[in-house]
Copies of this chain bind each other. A is one copy, B any other.
């Protein structure tokens, strides 16, 4: 298998991306890489070129570039060249830590949607805390689409089931709909309609509505959300956790000798907590519903996260999650047409 990696995306590119690719290359002997970037910068960083093909990209899509315009105009950028090679079968998956909008646009416009899927969704894996039998859950969509229809949520549920089963190894995953109350009649018009539509899918284990308050407690294995509030919940979860850790640190600093001593004695405990909160170990966010794995990580990504994400992509390829989704939507095309028609008014 061959993975197309954008060497130029992210705050620490190309250095940390190149280092992460080499870590992954040494960890996974069966994986080959295409590495796209400005080779005068990339090449000196490489220890050796085993199983790594370097491909010159004259242009770079910056973090602030308008995504769709950048994809259309910067034809020689690392993102566009990598996505084109995936589309043309020269690589099996695409990874970047760069401009999120541009990565999504490259996935949608260059690699393309799976037949029968209206809107691909962006997934992320978040930690579950304080539970003996669950250490993470999948959430989608966390921001690929701002305007979401009930039919999109219906399709996210099916794609989420495949991802949780195939990549995360969760059997018959519990699927919940992110809503503002657990009762079946809660929510706005979109979520009311989506609740009933999800309840009608025979192939999934739908457990009803879940609230954002309970996500980190393991309310579901797969949380289906509209991209607008899914994105808001993801960011408020991250923001609250980071702000609290900062508050704890500054309170200890202001707390005199006793507090500093106490913190020193708790060092390994705090280390364990931080490692449980760190969801980058689960890899990156996946654009699911396109014809090949398209995976992005935070702009602040460093080498270990790059290597973990390559491992996640390897699992996706080995377990052919994309092929399974393609087959499902192919075999259920009549059902999809009927569901879409029925949900059209909503």
Q: A residues touching B (Cβ–Cβ < 8 Å)?
A: 129-130, 143, 146-148, 178, 180, 186-189, 191, 211-217, 227-229, 231-233, 235-244, 246-248, 250-252, 255, 258-259, 261-266, 268-269, 272-273, 276-277
**Nearest Cβ in chain B — how far from A117, in angstroms?**
20
**Docked-complex contact B187 and A146, CB < 8 angstroms:** yes
**Docked-complex contact A180 and B251, CB < 8 angstroms:** no
Which residues of B are found within 8 Å of A266, using beta-carbon distances? 252, 255, 258-259, 262-263, 266
A233 to B264, CA, bound (A): 34
A127 to B228, CA, bound (A): 24
Question: Within the oligomer, what is the number of copies of this chain?
Answer: 2
Interface of A is mostly: helix
**Docked-complex contact B180 and A228, CB < 8 angstroms:** yes
Given contacts A129-B243, A147-B188, A239-B217, contact A265 B276 (CB under 8 A): no
Which residues of B are found within 8 Å of A243, using beta-carbon distances? 129-130, 216-217
A268 to B259, CA, bound (A): 8
**Docked-complex contact B247 and A273, CB < 8 angstroms:** yes
Which residues of B are found within 8 Å of A215, using beta-carbon distances? 236, 239
A235 to B273, CA, bound (A): 22
**Docked-complex contact B246 and A269, CB < 8 angstroms:** no
A263 to B259, CA, bound (A): 9
**Nearest Cβ in chain B — how far from A147, in angstroms?**
4
Which residues of B are found within 8 Å of A143, using beta-carbon distances? 180
Shortest 6 CB-CB distances between A and B: which pairs?
A: A262-B265, A213-B239, A212-B236, A262-B266, A146-B188, A213-B235
Which residues of B are found within 8 Å of A231, using beta-carbon distances? 180
**Docked-complex contact A251 and B269, CB < 8 angstroms:** yes
**Docked-complex contact A239 and B265, CB < 8 angstroms:** no
**Docked-complex contact B252 and A259, CB < 8 angstroms:** no
**Docked-complex contact B273 and A269, CB < 8 angstroms:** no
**Docked-complex contact B261 and A273, CB < 8 angstroms:** no
A232 to B322, CA, bound (A): 31
A314 to B106, CA, bound (A): 56
Interface contacts beyond A130-B250, A212-B232, A258-B266: sample of 6 additional A-B pairs, CB < 8 Å, sorted by A: A216-B240, A233-B236, A236-B240, A259-B268, A263-B266, A266-B266
